[in-house]
A = this chain, B = another copy of it.
Amino acid sequence: QRAREMGIKIGVLTPGKQNAITDVKGVKVGHTTLHEGDRIHTGVTAILPHEDNIFQNKVPAGIYIGNGFGKLTGISQVKELGNLETPIILTNTMSVPTAADALIDYTLSQKGNERVKSVNFLVGETNDGYLNDISARVITKQHVLDAIKNAKSGPVEEGNVGAGSGTVCFGWKGGIGTSSRVLPEKSGGYTVGVLVQSNYGGVLEINGVPVGKNLGKHFLHDQLNDPADGSCMMIVATDAPLSSRNLERLAKRAMLGLAKTGGIASNGSGDYVIAFSTAEEVRIKPGSKYYTSTELHNDDTSPLFLATIEATEEALLNSLFMAQTLKGVSGTVEALPIDEVRKMISKK
């Protein structure tokens, strides 16, 4: 069950139809999921900003680094040029090079890109090495290409799928989660969608309820002494027309959503946010002499900030609620104990 189906309503804004990143028109998500015995639990998740050739129709983008322990590739070019030119790929830490290589293959193989000699592969990761035999590096380029190929709009699979197959969050099974918010018409009516790969720690809170504290399972708790490490990749999509500068600001707000779940961005956590706009008014079109755009004024960004915070918090909760208990290479990680959580929440 997703958080909202359990009666958990995060924030004051309304989700979109799917309550998913795909509520932002044109955005597609695809997973490749690998569960093989107890040893292999990993995968790939691909996020596509639109259906066209992305390299030829770049979208404005911003990146924010909550904590830079991590191997996200492609950061500096996105920041310098203010756009992204490939699908975004999420996978495990050790498979980033393979995924990057696959993005080169993908880009070169697309019609119109025959002469491309430089590709800014954007690949994020978290470390699923507790449940998955990460050193085996089983992800292949084909797995990555499959995730891109399978990408679709509509509902998004969550939990132990794709890049979230083997991740752990607050000591419970984490994974892929997604959520969205639609702004009121008077604030523009724009949609913000978030997709996360959750693999981090801290002191879990669910809609303000101190679940981690209540269950005695949190960072610095004597029994556990969980190092709180791990990482979180967050992808923010919007149809609001924003420049790369304001998209970087949007990205920054996703960390505020993570904070509300009790995340602390620990030393060993790779917490990264990639935000992009799908709006036609800011699309970078090939062949144009100038870049003409119509974007929101700075003054009109705050509602989008709130939407990002809410959708991130809910996406992170969905990643927990939709994940399943999993036996992996170093042990078993339980799913969030739904019944206990339900009781704590109902008391609120």
Contact = CB atoms under 8 A, between A and B. Distances in A.
Interface of A: 11-13, 65-77, 79-82, 93-94, 96-101, 104, 108, 117-121, 127, 129, 134-135, 137, 184, 187, 202-203, 205, 207-210, 213, 218-221, 227-229, 241, 243-245, 249, 252-253, 255-260, 263-268, 270, 272, 284, 288, 290-303, 305-306, 309, 347-348
A219 B244 CA distance: 25
Interface centre among A98, A100, A227 (most CB of B within 10 A): A100
Contact of A12 (B207, B220, B348): B220
A253 B241 contact: no
Please give the count of copies of this chain that the complex contains.
Answer: 4
Given A96-B100, A98-B101, A256-B264, 19 more contacts: A65-B80, A68-B77, A71-B121, A75-B76, A76-B272, A97-B104, A97-B121, A118-B129, A208-B208, A219-B303, A245-B245, A253-B265, A255-B256, A255-B259, A256-B258, A256-B265, A266-B302, A267-B299, A291-B294
Contact of A220 (B13, B65, B79, B270): B13
A259 B264 CA distance: 11
Name the 5 nearest CB pairs between A and B, nearest first.
A208-B208, A68-B80, A68-B76, A256-B259, A259-B259
Contacts of A129: 117-118
Contacts of A120: 71
A227 B117 CA distance: 15
Q: Is the interface of A mostly helix, strand, loop or mixed?
A: mixed
A228 B303 CA distance: 9
A81 B97 contact: no
23 contacts: A12-B220, A68-B79, A68-B80, A68-B81, A69-B81, A72-B76, A73-B100, A76-B270, A93-B119, A97-B98, A97-B99, A108-B135, A117-B135, A202-B306, A243-B243, A255-B256, A256-B264, A256-B265, A264-B302, A267-B305, A290-B294, A292-B294, A347-B348
A137 B141 CA distance: 15
Contacts of A97: 96-101, 104, 121
B12 A249 contact: no
A82 to B, nearest CB: 5
B218 A12 contact: yes
B68 A94 contact: no
A220 B306 contact: yes
Nearest to A137: B104
A77 B73 contact: no
Contacts of A117: 93-94, 127, 129, 134-135
